[in-house]
Chains A and B, each alone.
Chain A
């Protein structure tokens, strides 16, 4: 495969803690399971965590730092996932890398990785400063992760502005940590509110799911074990849509069962 057809995708959000790294890990595993050769790149050099979510923290020998310095080959730094060998992680180097890393360095690393992978997912740091701009320089397209909260949506908007002015295309949205009950009670921004405000196509909708915490405890992304939990299904569907499959989005209003959810649906139905 030539690097020209490799899809290099920035996973970003602006705000921290909305689920960038969780999405990167789960999407990486899901794409790998669908037969795509996938590399995930931890571009959060200050506060790296992608290794931890993938359960690969004990297998890191070299990092992007040594690759750039030329003291090891790329293949030595890439950590292959044991259960899912289609997936490899390029770990972030020492936080001091932030002092000298340039956008050109990131482009160089991503170009090297692209040579032998179909998908390169770049886990961006929170914020819109240097670290984010370095990560953005290496990507062609982007997935913006946000939650239905005012602070996360505002920060996402700022990031989308930066992505637009840097010619990143397409930019798609993943709405994370949706609570159907709160949405039904109109105590949480509706899906349409967020997509209207940010004016981005929705690539995925992930319900709040306690299993995500359990999976991070173990270092085993949910998508590794099929689609038993709602979040695992959602992440797997994000991967399928990313590959061009037409998978319908879930309707949060239909998720709740029982009288309360039914009442909620009745209450939020448009009268006129």
Chain B
């Protein structure tokens, strides 16, 4: 945190263009380096969320599965806030009540209804 960052935060200003550039680059390079096709990445993300949510209730709005890169090594990072654990894991393909209320446009939801 620099003095400029602090002032910007206090004033509610957007971040500097250099910071934006850095974040955009890190994201695009993670994808370039992984050489994964975006469609497969989407599918993998959906399946990971599906598997995890059979065991624990996760906050779908806050959850994120993304690629990160550091020192030219790319990692798949899942950040999935847990609401609560399930007493009994759901069976494959089974959905919980709360998730049935989910927005049909949500890719996770669609993955479940189609399977």
Contact = CB atoms under 8 A, between A and B. Distances in A.
Interface of A: 149-150, 153-154, 157-158, 160-161, 164, 183, 185-190, 193, 197, 199, 266-272
Interface in B1-43: 1-4, 6-7, 16-19, 21-22, 24-26, 28-29, 32-33
B72 interface: yes
Given A188-B18, A190-B18, A157 B29 contact: yes
B2 A187 contact: no
Contacts of B25: 150, 153-154, 189, 197
B101 interface: no
B62 interface: no
Secondary structure at chain B's binding surface: helix, strand, loop or mixed? helix
A74 to B, nearest CB: 38
A164 B26 CA distance: 19
Contacts of B28: 150, 154
B69 to A, nearest CB: 8
Interface residues of B, number: 21
Given A154-B29, A197-B29, A186 B3 contact: no
Interface in B31-57: 32-33
B18 A187 contact: yes
B106 to A, nearest CB: 31
Contacts of B26: 197
A161 B31 CA distance: 13
Interface of B: 1-4, 6-7, 16-19, 21-22, 24-26, 28-29, 32-33, 71-72
B71 A199 contact: yes
Contacts of A164: 72
A189 B16 CA distance: 10
A186 B18 contact: yes
Contacts of A149: 21
Nearest to B29: A157
B29 A193 contact: no
B18 A193 contact: yes
Which 7 interchain pairs have the tightest Cβ spacing? A186-B16, A267-B4, A186-B18, A199-B72, A193-B22, A199-B71, A267-B3
B3 to A, nearest CB: 5
B18 A270 contact: no
Contacts of A190: 18
Contacts of A183: 18
A272 to B, nearest CB: 6
A146 to B, nearest CB: 11
11 contacts: A154-B25, A157-B29, A185-B16, A188-B18, A193-B18, A193-B21, A267-B2, A267-B7, A270-B1, A271-B6, A272-B1
